[in-house]
Each structure stands twice: as C-alpha cells, then as structure tokens.
Amino acid sequence: MVDSQITISLPGLEDGRKADEPCTIVIFGASGDLTARKLIPALYHLHIEGQMPGSFHVVGFARREKTDASWRDEMRAGVETHSRTRRVDNAKWNAFAANLSYHRGDLTDADAYAGLAKRLAGLGDPCLVNNLVFYLAISPSLFGEVVDQLRTADLLHRMEEGDAHWQRVVVEKPFGHDLQSAQVLNNHLLRHVRERQIFRIDHYLGKETVQNIMMFRFSNAIFEQLWNRESIEHMQITVSEDIGVGARGGYFEEAGTLRDMMQNHLLQILSLVAMEPPPSLAAEDIRNEKVKLLKSIRPMTMEAVATNVVRGQYFAGIVNDDSREGYRQEERVNPESNVETYVALKLFIDNWRWSTVPFYLRTGKNLPLRASEVRVQFRPTPNVLFAAQDNLDLHANALTLRLQPDEGIFLRFNGKVPGNSIETRPVRMHFGYDAEFGAYTPEAYERLLLEAMAGDTTLFIRRDEVETAWQIVDDIREGWGGTSLSNREFYAAGTWGPIAADDLLERDSHKWHNPKPAQR
C-alpha cells in the first residue's frame, strides 16, 4: 500500500530541522532587492527560531561603498518592511547582526575576490572559512564570471568523497533563456563544481503547500488509488497574477510569460502532481521521477502548438478597481509588441498512468486575482440511476489544491438537499491551513536557504530537469514562429484571459475553473 510506505516527513520537513554544520553564506548582489526583501529576512527568522547552525556568518558582496554598520542598518530596515513578522526584537536582531558583514567589490575584479578570501580567513573557525554557500542574487549573465573568479581565488572546489569541507553555489532563475543557453551555463558551472554542489532555485518549490503535494498524494490511499486515467477526466493548473509587468517591461520584452512562468513554476507543479511514486525520499529518487514525468510529455510539434497552445496579451482594463494600462503602453515596451503576457497549454503525458488525460496549464498577468491552484476533475458517474429525475444538480467530483493564497484543499461532491423531495446540489469539504495549523507558514526562502546549508537538493532543480523544461518551451516558441497575435488572443486587464483560451477547453467540452477570492 502506498500510504504505508511513506509514513515519515519529506526531506527537510522534520520538526526542528536545523543546518548543523557551521558555515558562511556569501551573498553576491547584497545591495539588490532580493537580498533585503527575501534573503536576510529569511535568515533572520531561521536564526530566531534556532534553525541556523550554532556558528554562522553572512557576507554581503556588492559594488557600492558601504560599511558593515550601514549594511546592517539597511538589512534591518528590510526585515522590518518585508519579513512575515515585521516586528524586530532588538536583542535578537543584535545577536543576528553580529554575524553580518559587508565586502565591497566589483564582480569582475580578481582583487575583490582575493580580499574576500582574506576576510573569510579572518573568521578563524575552519568551518566558517571553508564551508561556504555562495548565493548568486545577480544577473544570470554574471553567473559564469563569478564562479570563475571564485575558483581562481581558491574559494570554490570540486567536491570529492570524504572531503572535510564543502562549497555550494545557489543560483536564481532564469537559468538560461532557452535550451542552448541553459546547456552552455550548465557546462560552465560544471567545469568547477559537481552537480550536487549546484542549487538551482525555483522559489515555488519552497512553498509549504507545494511541498505538501507529495505528502497529500502518497500518504493518502483514498486519493492515490484514484490518481490515474481511470478516475480523472482532466486536470487544470492555474497560476494567475493580478499585476502587470510594471517596471520590468524591458525584461519582459525578452522573456515573455512562457519563459518567465511556464518553463519553471507551472512545469514544476505539474511534475509533482503527476509523477510516479519515488522508490524512496532521497533527493535523487524524487528528482528522477520529476524528470521522467517531464520527458513523458508528448512533444510539442508545429501542429500541436497550433492546436493546443494559446498566448495572449492584456490591453487596458480594471483590476480590483484600479485602472491598468495595456501591455503595449507599459514602460520600455515596444508599442507593437507581440510578447505574450498570458499562456495556456493543453498537454498530454504519454505514460501508463496518464494516457489520454489532458492537462490544462495557464498563467497570465493582470488577471482578476492572484492565485495558484491545481484542479483535479474526476470522471462523471454513469447517467443511469438518476436519469429520470428532473431536479437533480449533479456535478462530477472535483478536488482543488489551493497553493496560494487561502491555502487549503477542497473536495466537491454531491449531497441531497434536506426535505421530502429528491434534490441534490454540489457541496464542499474544506481543509484550510490557517484553521488547522494556525497562521504561521514559513516563507519559501527560509526553507530553501535551510536546505542549501544542509546540503539537501530535494527542493532544487537538477540539470536534466531544467534542460527538459527548456526543450518543451523552445518547441512552443518555434511553433509560434514570430507570428502576430490575433484578435482572439487579446484580453482586457481584469478578465480571465483571451477568448482563444476558452476555445481551447470548449473543444473538449470543458471549461476553466476560475479561482475564487480568498475567504477570510
């Protein structure tokens, strides 16, 4: 039985999980938004909750002129503004800040790395000097340069079995902009380190509700036994955003929604929802199954792209009573741009479990609300027993995994309305994280940083995984072939996407399930 095989917590989810070995975290891009908004607040919370190593140090590396004291003050302001508590205890902050220091240097300057090596040597403790997490919160175009410089400065080594100390490199997305660039970057990094030393982040994998997908599937026999083509008619994965591109117009003109969201977030969720049970909870066993799933996706031929892929672009509209400009009017956007701000796909997974079951994935900007959810639509019952009844409102069963916000799991089934007549209507069972576990949910970066320090790669993306995802995206982009958007592919900001996306499902007699606003 599947549910008797997996009765322990997932890696990195144990109560009281702690990174035990002393280490130093070097953050490249220490003056950037990510450091102040996410990284330092995450490390601060890990510290006050006793999950950091007994001895640790954090070095911020950036080009701007700052002192240790001024950088600490900036980071405190970041914690007060962006952390999940936003209330900073002075004594706890001072204890944490004593482990923060700032190193000024240009990312291309060899002397700056020599100075970094000297600073680290001054920490004294061999573990703080040699157990190193290098967090590259910088432009992907500089990943290779930084790794080259670290190797030249003798700060980064290819790990061998039995080594007393370790170094790890954490890289943010986007990891390349297509398959070829991802392969080039992978090859560059692997000249200096082994695959197990590279931690490619997709912050979605750090979300508590995303991690819970595996636990939900493989520890509950009542659902896992139905998780196949015999019981499930189709699945929908929706990641909607209620914001436009904002100041990121220049980046978005290069990336588009397909590269920015579909290549990583949605395909990652798909792999967890649809993969086979791994033989163990070891990181490589889990990642093997995710890659197998992605490789089982039916190839996106030119014909498949034309039939099963929809793109869209928002024009002016209203979102949450706020007037929004059209994409082509956004800052640093070509006024005749055909870049997609919305993508919907119909995918098929050609394996035994999922043969013939369509998976519908969609994501877009300036939609009515921000939400991420998986909708599992079960097959309807035969229309035999109740066929003669006119007043029955029978619906196929459905299961919704709400990943954010209003995190929870909802099961829809049919129930009889009280009374003397036979009348039914769909009802819902609702499990909410807040109600069951309280309001506390760790930030994704807390979990990911903890796992990077502990050396657990389960929640990070392996080379073949990222390259397989890029192959899918490249095939779709090739199928588009630079063609212009049609009228049916534009949508008003504040709506659920273009008409063409509704057509995609209506051909199969299906409809999109639109997420509802969070209930508080």
Distance of alpha carbon 466 from alpha carbon 179, whole angstroms: 8
Distance of alpha carbon 208 from alpha carbon 101, whole angstroms: 31
Give the three-state DSSP class for 267: helix
What's residue 4's pLDDT? 33
What's residue 356's pLDDT? 95
The 3-state secondary structure of 332-382 reads: CCCCCCCCCCEEEEEEEECCCCCCCCEEEEEEECCCCCCEEEEEEEECCCC
- The answer to whether 185 and 169 have CB atoms below 8 angstroms apart is no
- Please count the other Cβ atoms lying within 10 Å of the Cβ belonging to residue 138: 21
Distance of alpha carbon 71 from alpha carbon 102, whole angstroms: 7
- The answer to whether 356 and 235 have CB atoms below 8 angstroms apart is no
**Residue 508: what residue type?**
D
Residue 510 annotated to the active site: no
pLDDT tens, position by position, for the chain (520 residues)?
Answer: 333 333 333 444 444 456 679 999 999 999 989 999 999 999 999 999 999 998 999 999 999 999 999 999 999 999 998 888 768 889 999 999 999 999 999 999 999 999 999 999 999 899 999 999 999 999 888 999 999 999 999 999 999 888 889 999 999 888 889 999 999 999 999 999 999 999 999 888 888 888 889 989 999 999 989 999 999 999 999 999 999 998 888 889 989 999 999 999 999 999 999 999 999 989 999 999 999 999 999 999 999 999 999 999 999 999 999 999 999 999 999 999 999 999 999 999 999 999 999 999 999 999 999 999 999 999 988 766 665 566 566 778 999 999 988 888 999 888 777 877 777 778 888 888 877 776 556 788 999 999 999 999 999 999 999 999 999 999 999 999 889 999 999 999 999 999 999 999 999 999 999 998 865 4
What's residue 247's pLDDT? 85
Distance of alpha carbon 270 from alpha carbon 128, whole angstroms: 39
Give the three-state DSSP class for 324: strand
**In the chain, where the domains are located:** 2-172, 205-506
CA end-to-end distance (rounded Å), the chain: 37
- Please count the other Cβ atoms lying within 10 Å of the Cβ belonging to residue 121: 11
Choosing from 45, 157, 203, 265, the catalytic residue is: 265
What's residue 173's pLDDT? 82
- The answer to whether 424 and 394 have CB atoms below 8 angstroms apart is yes
- Please count the other Cβ atoms lying within 10 Å of the Cβ belonging to residue 496: 18
Strand partners, 431: 409
Multiple choice CATH, 205-506, 3.40.190.10, 3.65.10.10, 1.10.3720.10, 3.30.360.10: 3.30.360.10
Distances (CA, A) of 388 to 379, 385, 405, 414: 21, 8, 41, 17
Distance of alpha carbon 147 from alpha carbon 193, whole angstroms: 9
What's residue 14's pLDDT? 41
What's residue 8's pLDDT? 35
Distance of alpha carbon 428 from alpha carbon 415, whole angstroms: 9
- Supply the DSSP string of 482-515, one letter for each residue: TPPPPGGGEEETTSS--HHHHHHHHTTT----PP
What's residue 393's pLDDT? 61
Q: Strand 167-171 vs strand 317-319: parallel, antiparallel, or unpaired?
A: unpaired
- Supply the DSSP string of 68-128, one letter for each residue: HHHHHHHHHHHHHHHSSS----HHHHHHHHTTEEEEE--TT-HHHHHHHHHHHHTT--HHH
Which class for 337: exposed (0-12), middle (13-18), buried (19 or more C-beta within 10 A)? middle
CATH class of 2-172: alpha beta
Q: Which residue bears the tokens 């750090």? A: 206
- Please count the other Cβ atoms lying within 10 Å of the Cβ belonging to residue 283: 20
- Please count the other Cβ atoms lying within 10 Å of the Cβ belonging to residue 455: 17
Distance of alpha carbon 479 from alpha carbon 100, whole angstroms: 49
What's residue 480's pLDDT? 94
Q: What is the pTM of this model?
A: 0.90
Q: Cα 40 to the chain's mean position, in Å?
A: 19
**Residue 207: what residue type?**
K
- Supply the DSSP string of 179-235, one letter for each residue: HHHHHHHHHHHHTTS-GGGEEE--GGGGSHHHHHHHHHHHT-HHHHTT-STTTEEEE
- The answer to whether 182 and 175 have CB atoms below 8 angstroms apart is yes
Phi-psi region of 413 (alpha: psi -120 to 50; beta: other; left: phi over 0): beta
Cα–Cα nearest to 346, from 234, 190, 429: 234
What's residue 469's pLDDT? 96
What's residue 207's pLDDT? 81
Q: Strand 322-324 vs strand 232-240: parallel, antiparallel, or unpaired?
A: unpaired
